Amino acid sequence: MKIELSQVSRWYGNVVAVNDVTMTIGPGVTGLLGPNGAGKSTLLHMMAGFLAPSGGSVTLDGTKVWKNHHIYRNIGLVPEREGVYGFLTGWQFVLSAARLHGLPDPIEAARKALATVEMEEPKDRRVETYSKGMRQRVKVAAALVHDPPVLLLDEPFNGMDPRQRLHLMDLIRTMGTGGKTILFSSHILEEVERVAQHIEVLVAGRHAASGNFREIRRLMTDRPHLFMIRSSDDRRLAAALVRDDSTGGITLRPDGLEVQATEFRRFARLLPQVAKTEGVRLHQVSPADEDLESVFSYLINRSS
């Protein structure tokens, strides 16, 4: 099944949370990547029928999602907020989901869903006694109980320990390979890279990039990079580097050089060559802006 967003916007008063986003989420695993506050949850809530778009349309295989409870036969939703009745046991919670779906064999469906997330052993404990990761898994089980073709997960790996995280990643990958349409949001590139075949990047409410992880990686590595370089002769090195086109600009600082490289790959080859021919010894070469925020801010400027 396909979720189609067509020129979707959402604003709250004067604040634009999602701005003119058009994308199609098809079978396989799609990662919705973006920094906190980018509008990922807003977009996901619109896909899940829990928020009306201020403009544009959100459809699931051609049918409108908003104010249409029939979509939940085909959608499983794992919200970010806890959203689990603490007084129910894990078993009761998942079983109630199966009954709410009106499944023919709710007990078998609940048993299967709990087995999928490896929560059979603690299933008879109350949810309020669970760790955050266990609650997350029980939520996933409840969302999977009717075997939906579409699964939406809002920051599913938050609060999970590394082992649980790996397990959920495996599970999501397997379901994606099995033909389900899966979308999950995350602000961590590595997470998205490991699970998603396809990545949609959302920055400041705008659809900044789209592609598989190689394309997104390339996009991110081809941007201008900032390096801090310390060497035996900074001034000499700077003079030699600036002659090449791949160097955008150099600032001479008391503690070293700040070099703006416009072409990452070429600069990476250039630097050691220049150092060798000039007889300059490199003490330190470090990227100054490898954090995600600078990657995202580059993408914003690029898309505007």
Partner 1 sequence: MNTVVAGITYRALLGRRRIILLLLLPLALIGLAVLLRLFSADDQSTTVLLMKNFAIGTMLPLLGLIAGTGVIAPEIDDGTIIHLMSKPISRPVIAQTKFLVAASLLAVFAAVPTYVAAWILVGNEDGIAPGFALGSLVAGIAYAAVFLLLGVVTRHAVTIGIIYALVWESLVGNLLAGARTWSIQHWGQAIAAQISDSPFFQADVSLSFAIPALIIVTVGAVLWAGQRLRAFSLTGDE
Q: Interface with partner 1 by CB under 8 A: which residues?
A: 12, 17, 36-42, 45, 48, 50-52, 67, 69-73, 75, 77, 79-85, 87-88, 93, 96-97, 99-102, 142-143
Nearer to partner 1, 72 or 264 (CB): 72
H/E element, 192: helix 189-195
CB distance 155 to 186 below 8 Å: yes
Nearer to partner 1, 7 or 85 (CB): 85
Nearer to partner 1, 85 or 232 (CB): 85
- Other beta carbons within 10 angstroms of residue 165's beta carbon come to 19
Nearer to partner 1, 143 or 274 (CB): 143
CB of 202 to partner 1, least distance (A): 11
CB distance 105 to 129 below 8 Å: no
Q: How many angstroms separate the CA atoms of 189 and 192, rounded?
A: 5
CB of 75 to partner 1, least distance (A): 7
CB of 142 to partner 1, least distance (A): 7
- The three-state secondary structure class of 111 is helix
CB of 222 to partner 1, least distance (A): 29
DSSP-derived pairing of the beta strands 15-25 and 63-64:
unpaired
**CA dihedral in degrees (196, 199, 205, 209; nearest 10)?**
170
DSSP-derived pairing of the beta strands 181-186 and 15-25:
unpaired
CB of 265 to partner 1, least distance (A): 36
Nearer to partner 1, 96 or 210 (CB): 96
CB of 77 to partner 1, least distance (A): 5
Hey, what amino acid is at 219?
L
CB distance 124 to 130 below 8 Å: no
CB distance 150 to 76 below 8 Å: yes
- The three-state secondary structure class of 284 is strand
CB of 7 to partner 1, least distance (A): 20
CA-angle at 125, arms to 119 and 127, nearest 5°: 80
Nearer to partner 1, 48 or 114 (CB): 48
CB distance 274 to 257 below 8 Å: no
Nearer to partner 1, 50 or 264 (CB): 50
Nearer to partner 1, 47 or 280 (CB): 47
CB of 96 to partner 1, least distance (A): 5
- Other beta carbons within 10 angstroms of residue 75's beta carbon come to 22
* Share in percent of the chain as helix, strand, coil (round to 5): 40, 30, 30
- For residue 150, how far is the Cα from the chain centroid? 17
